Amino acid sequence: MPDQNPPVAPPPGNVPFPGAGTTGDNEPPKRPPPAPQAPGASEEPQKKRYPVPGAEPGKTYPVANPHRPIAEGPSVESIQLKSTLRRVAFIMIGIILLAALVFGGIFIYNKFFKSTEGTYTTNQNIPPEENTNQEDLEGDMDKDGLLDKWEVEHGLDPTNSGDAKQDPDLDRLNNTDEYYYKTDPNNPDTDSDGYKDGSEVENGFNPGGEGDLDESGENGKTKNLAQFQGKWQGLITGNQYSSPDLMLVLKRDGTLSGQFTFSSYSKDLLEKGRMNCEVSGTYDYEKDVNEFVGDLFIKTAYGEENGTYNIHLTGQSNGETNQVSGSWTGGPRKEMPWLVQDRGNFQMQKTEDI
């Protein structure tokens, strides 16, 4: 069924705005003018301001640009690491300076102030363990009974005790025999008489010249030493030291060894007790004047300290050459509070033949 109220088309021409009057040109209503402002006032809208603590009224303060990027500073970890490295560097420098001072002081002390002079004034033979001066060969470094000087002169090694029993010239005399018979260890016939040195000794003849062994002064001395060969016991008395237990072993080749202990009359000298002494050395005997001489090279031990001491014996033997008595002088290679020079008397007696 057709609509009974069809829409009515607007009339041609301008469409009036709602509320427009019936007269006029159908213009829209105008915006009312703004309210009047006070003289000198800015036309910009007023911004809300917030009070700043401590700001003076009416004073302008610069404001940072909020759009400017903030530069990044060092982190806490990097600051701590730098501080630690700085401390380590200071400590290392301190240690290096301290070490330089210490070693410099030691060098200056050893170079200019330390004394190496000893106080040894008795027998001038240097003990075997300290005879490192090649110009002083009067000792016996290897303790084989052969003087270092003699060994060097005949091409032997003064630091090798094994060469004492060698026979380089094959004359049936080892180097020890050659030394005490005054023969040449590198010549089997020292006196060039057509007989080997060993053969002459075995038959009682002098291998170093004319005559037999009984008529030879030096070789006769060697024969006299055989009378002293054996074990000896005795005592030593002095101004500072004494020993009631001297024990020595004298050999036919003129060497000796043994031991004893030193005690002291002064409690201030040996406060810790006795001083142990290990002996090596040489001896000789002049039959014509009845003189016994001995040189004792002594290693001393007192508590935890060690030293060296030399004793020179001078005495006489009874007619049977089984008792010797006389005087002695002694001194240390390097003087210590418990090791000093001394002198006195000694006596000893043979207790056993060997």
* Structural domain includes residue 328: yes
Under the banding of pLDDT at 50, 70 and 90, the label for residue 287 is confident
Residue-number span of the structural domain to which 253 is assigned: 229-352
Separation CA 310–CA 331 (nearest Å):
6
pLDDT digits (tens, 9 = 90+) for 83-142: 899 999 999 999 999 988 888 888 887 777 654 444 433 344 444 444 444 445 567 888
- Which of 226, 251, 273 is the last residue before a domain boundary? 226
Q: Say whether both 307 and 211 belong to one domain.
A: no
* Structural domain includes residue 253: yes
Q: Say whether both 233 and 322 belong to one domain.
A: yes
pLDDT digits (tens, 9 = 90+) for 85-95: 999 999 999 99
Instruction: Using the predicted structure, report yes or no on whether residue 184 has a pLDDT greater than 80.
Output: yes
Q: Say whether both 175 and 218 belong to one domain.
A: yes
Q: Say whether both 219 and 261 belong to one domain.
A: no
Q: Say whether both 180 and 233 belong to one domain.
A: no
Q: Are 173 and 167 in contact (CB under 8 A)?
A: yes
- Which of 178, 194, 226 is the last residue before a domain boundary? 226
Going through the chain in order, the beta strands assigned E by DSSP cover 230-238, 241-250, 255-264, 275-286, 291-302, 305-317, 323-332, 342-352
Q: Residue 335 maps to which CATH number?
A: 2.40.128
Domain count, the chain: 2
Q: What is the pLDDT of residue 266?
A: 76
Instruction: Using the predicted structure, report yes or no on whether residue 332 has a pLDDT greater than 70.
Output: yes
* Structural domain includes residue 147: yes
Q: Say whether both 235 and 309 belong to one domain.
A: yes
Q: What is the pLDDT of residue 41?
A: 53
* Structural domain includes residue 327: yes
* Structural domain includes residue 262: yes
* Structural domain includes residue 257: yes
Q: Say whether both 193 and 249 belong to one domain.
A: no
* Structural domain includes residue 62: no
Tally helices (H) and strands (E) across the chain. Answer: 5, 8
Q: What value does the mean pLDDT of the chain take?
A: 76
Q: Say whether both 245 and 306 belong to one domain.
A: yes
Give SS3 for 275.
strand
The single-letter code of the amino acid at 329 is: T
Separation CA 55–CA 57 (nearest Å):
6
- Which of 193, 226, 259 is the last residue before a domain boundary? 226
Q: Say whether both 250 and 216 belong to one domain.
A: no
Q: Say whether both 168 and 154 belong to one domain.
A: yes
Q: Say whether both 214 and 240 belong to one domain.
A: no
Q: Say whether both 268 and 294 belong to one domain.
A: yes
